[in-house]
Structure 1
Amino acid sequence: MTVIDTAQPAVDWTALHNFDALRGQLRVSLTPRCNIACWFCHNEGDVPPPATRADREQQPRSRVLEPAGFVSVITTLMDAGLKRVYFTGGEPLTSPHARPVLEQLPAAKPGGSYTLITNGTHVRTHRSWLGHTPVNRAKVSLHYFSDESFRAIAQTRLGIATVLQGIETARELFETVELNCLLLKENEHEVRSIVDFAVERRLPVQFIELVGTDFNSRRAGCAVPADAIVKHLRTLTRHEHTNVAGVGQGRRIFLVDGIRIEVIHRNLGRHHVGQCGTCPVRKRCVEGFWALRLGHDGGLQPCLLREDLRMHVTDLLHDPQRLAEAVADHVTAFTEGVL
């Protein structure tokens, strides 16, 4: 294991460690590709599958990182203090790198976790090895609850049974399984059924208001506010509190029959740091700085909507100490508003 010396006076580690203390995430995109094409997909800041399907001239960034590179960056940043790693895409299980990366991960730090974010359609296919990796959490997208809504949202011929089977398999493989659901006109009539499904299976669920990006702006009118689901949840429980601590967007948290249901609700505001104060896209940002996003091209950026703030780490893979210092400096510059 690489040991990162965080005591060197030339590097200020405060911002990076504060980011972790505020439950900041390292989101690792193993691939920009996906077997479905949800119209709202932001693809962690890369060109999303729906855009490529509509126009083959629009292609995501070229892959640079190999499995050893992914593992090196993850290990280095965990040794530098980050604890919460999320594997995303695209659909991460469509990547040939998924297995070699996930199987080579170091053990999670105390209080840390590895989370697989998946659409669920490939979980059964990979169950023979997934359960033997250090990944201990899965977050399955359930933005649909029928064949009709699944096909309308994801532009796929698959049926909803494939997703539900993936959720059941995930429950067998991982310590914790959570669901997430974007609030859309296409699924508005199914949201209560998703709540019932989650509570019956004892699965935490998060309902999210749409994050607007350049790629989904054409259908921004399909976004649905969270007011209706909040009102419904208040008929099911009196256990409600709000959380506006940490980074990112405020959320309402309900306990329904002991199951945690979160609603990412823009009415609670969003929590920005440093660079966000003067950011030119702040008015249309509903996120704030809550994740460091590592792309398959070796780029690392502290914000979904600011590709101009990306730093490339490929030249530092051979030197974990310099890599950790460079990321710490980048986060410090971001939070101080000088990046």
Structure 2
Amino acid sequence: MFPPESGLTALRNFAALRGQLRVSFGPACNIGCWFCHNEGDVPPRTTREDRTQQPRRRALCAEHYLAVIGGLTKAGLRRVYFTGGEPLLSKLARPVLEGVGVFAAPDVSFSLITNGILVPRNLAWLRDTAIGKVKVSLHYLSDESFQEIAKTRLPVSAVLAGIDAARDAFERVELNTLLQRQSEHEILSILVYALERRLPIQFIELVDTDFNAAGQSAAVSADGLMAHLRTLTGQERVEVIGVGQGRRVFTVDGIEVEVIHRQLGRHHVGQCGACPVRPQCVEGFWALRLDHSGGLQPCLLREDLRLDVTPLLAADDPSATVAAATARHLASFTEGTL
């Protein structure tokens, strides 16, 4: 049984502010980007360089994922993103992505975040899922920058081929690009690449967190990019509604170019009001993150807020049980009792 409407208030407030559910199938990845935070787990590159640092053990199967996703979408969440590592590297990707179709609704969206490399070989089954948007990370446009950033021997053409494949199969394909020294010389070329293919793109300034502290010298300001965008268009707006970082949105020939700009700040939902670390916060509560070991975490910076849902999945109605527990958890956070 779901709790009464009043018991779901905190969860539904989060959903109304465009909060999202990010579902990680696990830490495995076919590349190793230096800035990856792996949704709060040990990043793939860290494990490659130091085998003593291992991510959490897997606790969820496909049925578990579907129970949690079903419960939270029924309870009000409307935006679900599938992440990794690289989600298409997981054997759970296909049964889960095919299975979420039963939760599809006009106001519920399912998005895949990928590096694009494995899209072509999975396209035959991907095109028949409920995935409505594919978001491809494109932080590079040459073999040299790709290999430096992602610690790989693959050519960047493997990523570009994945983007082309996604464009052929999905109505909406978007790109996201982290602004960094290693590919600063390619930023405008990446912009041209996106505009020529009429792909919405998001440029992101590096946010200072514990996960990327060693790479802060690689951070690049978005000021130069925004100055260039203003020579291309007069259509610019600022979005600070909902949750997450504020952003500037430029419309160039009908294509949206978003810039996640640190100077606009982060926007927190009511749940953050009593948080003891809010004055120092650079993350904010903008996503509930479900990881492969059964943790549901509202903030990467506070491990103490991580809810273990694995015991709840043995209930007679696991979907409703998880949704009710999540709602109680967020209500406690709102009230400052966690």
TM-score by length of 1: 0.95
Partner AA of 1:326 in structure 2: A
| Alignment correspondent of 1:324 | 323
Q: How many residues align?
A: 334
Partner of 1:122: 118
- Of residues 43, 46, 50, the one that matches 1:51 is 46
Amino acid at match of 1:288: G
Q: What is the aligned counterpart of 2:97 among 81, 94, 102?
A: 102
Q: Secondary structure at the match of 1:187?
A: helix
The alignment partner of 2:161 has SS state of helix
Q: How does 1:27-106 map to 2 (within 5 A)?
A: 27-105=22-100, 106=102
Partner of 2:213: 217
Shift of 1:336: 2.9
Q: CA deviation at 1:110?
A: 2.1
In the other structure, the counterpart of 2:261 is 265
Offset from partner CA, 1:193-248 (integer Å, 9 cap, x none)? 11111111111000011133323211111011211111111111000000011111
Partner-residue secondary structure (3-state), 1:126: helix
Give the distance between the partners of 2:211 and 2:280, measured in 1 at CA.
13
Query: 1:250-292: CA deviations, max 9, x gaps?
Result: 0000000100010000111111234534545545543311100
Secondary structure of the 2:21 match is strand
The 3-state SS of whatever aligns with 2:168 is: helix
Q: Which runs of 5+ in 2 are unaligned?
A: none
Q: Aligned match of 1:256 in 252, 255, 265?
A: 252
Q: 1:245 aligns with which of 241, 244, 255?
A: 241
Conserved? CA contact 1:94–1:122, under 8 Å: yes
| Structure-1 separation of matches of 2:274 and 2:2 | 33
Runs ≥4 residues deviating over 3 A: 273-285
In the alignment, is the contact (CA less than 8 A) between 1:204 and 1:261 conserved in 2?
yes
Q: Secondary structure at the match of 2:182?
A: coil
Q: CA RMSD in A?
A: 1.5
Write out per-residue CA displacement over residues 306-333 of structure 1, whole angstroms, 9 at most, x where no aligned residue.
1221001111123322221110111122
Aligned-pair CA distance for 1:5: 3.9
How many angstroms apart in 2 are the aligned matches of 1:109 and 1:88? 21
* Amino-acid identity (%): 62
- The aligned amino acid for 2:327 is A
Query: Deviation per CA, 1:4-30, whole angstroms, max 9, x where unpaired?
Result: 645x26x52112111111111000001
Q: Distance in 2 between matches of 1:304 and 1:171?
A: 32
Q: Which has the higher helix share?
A: 2
AA in 1 matched with 2:258: E
Distance 1:260 1:39, change over 3 A: same
Secondary structure of the 1:212 match is coil
Conservation of the 8 A alpha-carbon contact between 2:274 and 2:334: no
Is the aligned partner of 1:155 residue 2:156? no
Point out where structure 1 has 5 or more consecutive residues left out of the alignment: none
Letter in 1 for 2:332: A
C-alpha distance in 2, partners of 1:192/1:285?
A: 31
| Rounded Cα–Cα distance in structure 2 between residues aligned with 1:35 and 1:323 | 32
**Which AA in structure 2 matches 1:36?**
I
One-letter amino acid of the counterpart of residue 86, structure 1: Y
Q: C-alpha offsets along residues 136-170 of structure 1, whole Å, 9 cap, x if unaligned?
A: 11000001111011001000000110000000101
Alignment pair present for 1:205 and 2:205: no
